[in-house]
């Protein structure tokens, strides 16, 4: 059974930083691309960032480009999201997700391409 567990969320002032982690278990982590998504109250889940299985390809949503950095440590079965210059509009529940197919080329921003999801971690940015 695949499990994804997010951690690192919390309350931070605007301009601050947080680093989220996503610990994976249950299948060969290093074979699957991963992604971060977020959902704010009353809004649909939206794409934040993605990384391919090797870590060599990354992709970001425009609102976070230049502020967030996605990375992974395949030896630790863990993915990260370093968030800097946080804004109140970044407030949301952040979810990590694992791609359906192993060793796919590139990344994906579409939820349909991910089959396992974590429970989410709350990030709140105060103004």
Q: What is the mean pLDDT of the chain?
A: 97
pLDDT class for 19, splitting at 50, 70, 90?
Answer: very high
Mind listing the pLDDT tens digit for each residue in 100-126?
A: 999 998 999 999 999 999 999 999 999
The pLDDT-based confidence of 20 (bands split at 50, 70, 90) is: very high
**Could you read off the pLDDT of 34-86 as tens digits, one per residue?**
999 999 999 999 999 999 999 999 999 999 999 999 999 999 999 999 999 99
3-state secondary structure at position 90 = helix
% of residues, the chain, pLDDT over 90: 98
77 contacts 98 by C-beta, under 8 angstroms: no
For residue 124, the model assigns a pLDDT of: 98
Task: Quickly state the pLDDT bin for 4 (edges 50, 70, 90).
Answer: very high
State residue 33's pLDDT score.
97
User: Can you spell out the DSSP letters for the chain?
Assistant: --EEEEE--EEEETT--EEEEEEEESS-GGGEEEEEEEE-TTS--EEEEEE-TTS--EEE-GGGTTTEEEEEETTTTEEEEEE-S--GGG-EEEEEEEEEEET-SS----GGGEEEE---EEEEEE-
């Amino acid at each position: 059974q695949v499990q994804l567990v997010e951690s690192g969320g919390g309350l931070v002032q605007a301009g601050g930083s947080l680093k989220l982690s996503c610990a994976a278990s249950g299948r060969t982590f290093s074979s699957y691309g991963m992604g971060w998504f977020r959902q704010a109250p009353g809004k649909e889940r939206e794409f934040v960032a993605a990384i391919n299985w090797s870590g060599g390809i990354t992709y970001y949503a425009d609102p976070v480009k230049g502020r967030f950095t996605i990375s992974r440590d395949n030896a630790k079965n863990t993915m990260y999201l370093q968030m800097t210059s946080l804004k109140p509009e970044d407030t949301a529940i952040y979810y990590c997700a694992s791609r359906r197919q192993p060793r796919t080329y590139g990344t994906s921003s579409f939820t349909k391409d991910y089959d396992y999801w974590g429970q989410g971690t709350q990030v709140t940015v105060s103004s």
